[in-house]
Amino acid sequence: MSHEIEAIKDPGVPAHVHRQADSDPKAEKKAERQVAILFGLSAVGTLLFIYSYIWLPEDVFIYLPVLGTTNAKQLFLGLGLALSLFFIGAGAIHWAKTLMPDEEVIAMRHEMRSEDSDRKDFVASAKEGAAAAGLGRRSLIKRSLGLSLGLVGLSPLLLLRDLGPLPGKDLETTSWKSGTRLVTDPGDRPIKPSDLEVGAVAQVLPALAPGEERTLNNIGKDAVLLIRLRPEEFQLDAEKLAMTHEGIIAFSKICSHMGCAVALYEQQTKHLLCPCHQSTFDVPRGAKVIFGPAARPLPQLAISVDQEGYLVAQRPFSEPVGPSYWERNSQ
């Protein structure tokens, strides 16, 4: 059975359609202003992003009918960056459709280095194309485009501030002290050993003294994971075993690699997993690193019970919590 194949010729770029801006100076200026306005709106979006990032507090929430209660800082960060990038694209598209030339240009490809005459022709062609696009004479578009691109280029540099300064000695001290009760997070409810079954995990924080308030900085450093095993399952030396109580062991929740929250516990393997970079810690062996980039075990908090039977810290962490550095990265 024979099949007839019809060759379809590539039509290329459609023929130029006359635009009002091609012959009417007023229409040309109007299109130029429209492009500049779009680039200006992009700059406004970036300024909204910068304002939200630097000056909006973390604990401000607003209610929106569609989204419900949402964090204002996160909302305006996303909205500002979205507007910034959207209006850059919209301005570029409008510029191309209303002002830029749309004739098809074919540049023949040459092997290796082109002849000097071809190189000169290319430079001349590039200058001619730039002139046709109006880069030289459309100062309003150039300035507005430069403003929008310049501001949006600051966005990734601004986000580097989240890396923050080196913590210095800030990670060496937490709110844990001798006799501090372990309380649930959330809820601030004191915990007894009987509250945890074998295999159970709980996130806890230090109990607050009267008049104290929690800060984000302290929560980031103080968060602790409680895990209950059978006492015979531990593979610890005498010192670390004495830091446990009735099979309950406590570790800092802050990963010793980059400071992410170690949030996943595999009950069958008794492994803690950091979801950021997959560092894996073996709980029976004192959160020893068995996989991933973490350089040291999770710091262990020594625990016992007080006279009322509630779990308390025996003493503060004996080492800094959080990411490892070159001076403290041994396991």
> What integer pLDDT is reported at residue 58 of this predicted model?
82
State CA 241 to chain mean position distance: 38
State CA 123 to chain mean position distance: 42
Residues 269 and 174 occupy one common structural domain: yes
- Asked if the structure places residue 270 within a domain, the reply is yes
- Asked if the structure places residue 213 within a domain, the reply is yes
Q: What is the pLDDT of residues 236-255, one digit of tens each?
A: 999 999 999 999 999 999 99
Give burial (CB, 10 Å; 0-12/13-18/19+) of 113: exposed
Query: pLDDT band at 87, cuts 50/70/90?
Result: very high
- Asked if the structure places residue 326 within a domain, the reply is no
Q: What is the pLDDT of residues 30-50, one digit of tens each?
A: 989 999 999 999 999 999 999
Q: What is the pLDDT of residues 131-148, one digit of tens each?
A: 666 655 677 787 888 888
Pairing of strands 280-282, 271-273: antiparallel
Residues 200 and 69 occupy one common structural domain: no
- Asked if the structure places residue 5 within a domain, the reply is no
- Report the CATH number at residue 238: 2.102.10.10
Grouping H, G, I as helix, E, B as strand and the rest as coil, residue 217 is: helix
Q: What is the pLDDT of residues 250-283, one digit of tens each?
A: 999 999 988 898 989 999 999 999 999 999 999 9
Residues 139 and 220 occupy one common structural domain: no
- Asked if the structure places residue 53 within a domain, the reply is yes
Residue ranges of alpha helices (H) inside the chain are 20-23, 25-55, 72-98, 116-133, 139-159, 216-222, 238-241
Residues 136 and 205 occupy one common structural domain: no
Task: Determine how many CB atoms are found less than 10 A away from the CB of residue 294.
Answer: 25
> What integer pLDDT is reported at residue 150 of this predicted model?
79
Tokens of 329: 């990265």
Query: pLDDT band at 185, cuts 50/70/90?
Result: confident
Q: Tell me the C-alpha to C-alpha distance, in Å, between residue 259 and each of 166, 173, 321.
A: 13, 15, 9
Q: Tell me the C-alpha to C-alpha distance, in Å, between residue 292 and each of 26, 225, 274, 288.
A: 64, 20, 9, 11
Q: What is the pLDDT of residues 47-84, one digit of tens each?
A: 999 998 888 888 888 888 877 788 888 899 899 999 99
Residues 156 and 190 occupy one common structural domain: no
- Asked if the structure places residue 183 within a domain, the reply is yes
Domain hosting residue 85, numbered range:
20-107+122-162
Q: Is 190 a residue whose pLDDT tops 90?
A: yes
Give burial (CB, 10 Å; 0-12/13-18/19+) of 209: exposed
Tokens of 133: 């696009």
Residues 55 and 186 occupy one common structural domain: no
Angle between helices 72-98 and 139-159 (to 10 degrees): 150
Residues 157 and 248 occupy one common structural domain: no
- Asked if the structure places residue 176 within a domain, the reply is yes
- Asked if the structure places residue 279 within a domain, the reply is yes
Residues 176 and 302 occupy one common structural domain: yes
Residues 262 and 174 occupy one common structural domain: yes
How far apart (Å, rounded) are the C-alpha atoms in residues 262 and 196?
Answer: 19
Grouping H, G, I as helix, E, B as strand and the rest as coil, residue 272 is: strand
Residues 174 and 131 occupy one common structural domain: no
Residues 226 and 307 occupy one common structural domain: yes
Q: Is 6 a residue whose pLDDT tops 60?
A: no
Give the full edge-to-edge strand order of the sheet including 201-206.
182-184, 201-206, 224-228, 248-252, 300-301
Q: Tell me the C-alpha to C-alpha distance, in Å, between residue 51 and each of 14, 59, 69, 165, 205.
A: 45, 15, 21, 21, 33
**Arithmetic mean of pLDDT over the chain:** 83
Task: Determine how many CB atoms are found less than 10 A away from the CB of residue 39.
Answer: 26
> What integer pLDDT is reported at residue 329 of this predicted model?
47
Residues 183 and 145 occupy one common structural domain: no
What is the 3-class SS of 241-270, one letter each residue?
HCCCECCEEEEECECCCCCCECCEEECCCC
Count the domains in the chain: 2
* Phi, psi of 325, deg, nearest 5: -130, 170
